[in-house]
Amino acid sequence: MSTRQASDANDPIIDSRDQLVEPMAKGEKPKASWRIGTEHEKLVYRRSDHAAPSYDEPGGIRDILLQMREFGWRPVEEGGKVIALTGPDGAVSLEPAGQLELSGAPLETLHETCAETGRHLDQVKAIGDRCGVGFLGLGMWPDKTRAELPIMPKGRYEIMMRHMPRVGTLGLDMMLRTCTIQTNLDYSSEADMAQKFRVSLALQPLATALFANSPFTEGKPNGYLSYRSHIWSDTDPQRTGMLPFVFEDGFGYERYVDYMLDVPMYFVFRDGRYIDASGLSFRDFLDGNLSVLPGEKPRQSDWWDHLSTAFPEVRLKSFLEMRGADGGPWNRICALPALWVGLLYDQGALDAAWDLVKDWTMDEREALRNAVPKLGLDAPLGGGRTLRDIAPEALRIARAGLAARGKLSSGGDNETGFLSPLEDIVASGKVPAQRLLDLYHGEWAGDLTRVYEESF
């Protein structure tokens, strides 16, 4: 989740609709300038007792952040507390219960983004060895209640945690107990954005299935393969979901702006602090009628903040964010951008992927999204098919797209090898959560502490 570093007092005041469209329009880039951004979160635990460390305790989250300075990271503070880091590999930030996130730099190839991931994991593991902590690559805490988890000292989280129970029953679980992998990708034009948005939104349930990795809640199986994905279904219906309007004729930047204007606000950032605006309307803010800032109109940075507070399956800012995957280990962190780059960054692959999904009805898309958290690859499509039936073709298209890019490593390999973990999942017929459940019911004999030894 994004981290503000300062109030933007010199930002232009928003006085026209063009300024609302501007972030999306300015995201347009020629194909040669398209980049790959990868974000991934990790659960942090004390090795001595598997508890989640607090911010302030010795060897806790603050100490982990401060020790990362030795690798060239620079601290970002809020209220005198370090809550993020910036550096050549992007930014490291804290999720609400201390989940550690790398928001990677925009990079040209999958070779570079996977190397970035490897550097980051090597760094945090080295610090973890000194601090007595480990890192868990799952989509959700397997054994922790909400009450057992710490809260990080970030002002926006206080506001969100107050607001979440008003609009859904699982929002606090989303904040405190989940981890994800995301991929951020570029577009060349409004039409290119629309095609990529439609393809990635329709196929987001496939990513959810392939990366499903959260089958446990509070120490036992929860009946889901991706409970993290299920959580989003009862977090806040006004800012989540499959966005049916994306598939309507004429969809573009203006229509997404309309959607965002209907998403209730969370906060406004002023003078280094977050002002609670939860549930209020950005439309009222545009008119100078926001009750918490009477007479004041929004700045461009307020709109950027607001764009980051919607959580649909795919999100548009000045790039497209793929948001459907559970957290996981190193090879699957690299596999998620491989899937989406392969499908979206080559026009032939993008057209083939659209052919795969263009005839689905909105009811079928919604039903697929609702079924996939429990059923994974067995989630039904129309015509008696399941995701299992289209997964090989989707991966074939992605592989062809990566091969067509021709981006080679120093050893002469193209990017297709990063798809191997997903091809192995499809070949085996078992998503990661099913493999964990097999271990839990078999070799682990119901001892879920074993997951700390084998899941990163």
Mean pLDDT of the chain: 96
Summarize the confidence of residues 85-97 as an average pLDDT.
97
Give the DSSP H or E segment for 55: none
370-403 pLDDT tens trace: 999 999 999 999 888 999 999 999 999 999 999 9
From 145, 158, 156, 123, select the one nearest 217 (Cα to Cα): 145
- Closest listed residue to residue 28, CA positions, set 181, 260, 196: 196
User: What pLDDT score was predicted for residue 456?
Assistant: 59
Question: Which CATH number applies to 18-454: 3.40.50.1100, 3.40.50.10860, 3.50.20.10, 3.30.590.20?
Answer: 3.30.590.20
* Predicted confidence (pLDDT) per residue in 258-277, tens digit: 999 999 999 999 998 999 99
**What does the pLDDT average to over 175-199?**
98
3 pLDDT tier (thresholds 50, 70, 90): low
pLDDT tens digits, residue range 402-442?
999 999 999 999 999 999 999 999 999 999 999 999 999 99
Token reading at 229: 């994905």
- The end-to-end CA distance of the chain, in Å, is 22
Give me the mean pLDDT over the 199-208 stretch: 98
The answer to whether residues 253 and 21 touch, using CB atoms and an 8 Å cutoff, is: yes
Burial class (CB in 10 A: 0-12, 13-18, 19+), 360: middle
Rounded Cα distance, 310 and 239, in Å: 5
What's the whole-number mean pLDDT along residues 154-183? 97
Rg (CA), the chain: 21
Task: Please check the confidence at residue 2 and state whether its pLDDT lies above 90.
Answer: no
| 69 pLDDT above the threshold of 90 | yes
DSSP string, 149-202: S-----HHHHHHHHHHHHH-SSHHHHHHHB-EEEEEE-BSSHHHHHHHHHHHHH
The answer to pTM > 0.85 is yes
* Rounded average pLDDT over 314-329: 97
- The CA distance from 231 to 177, in Å, is 10
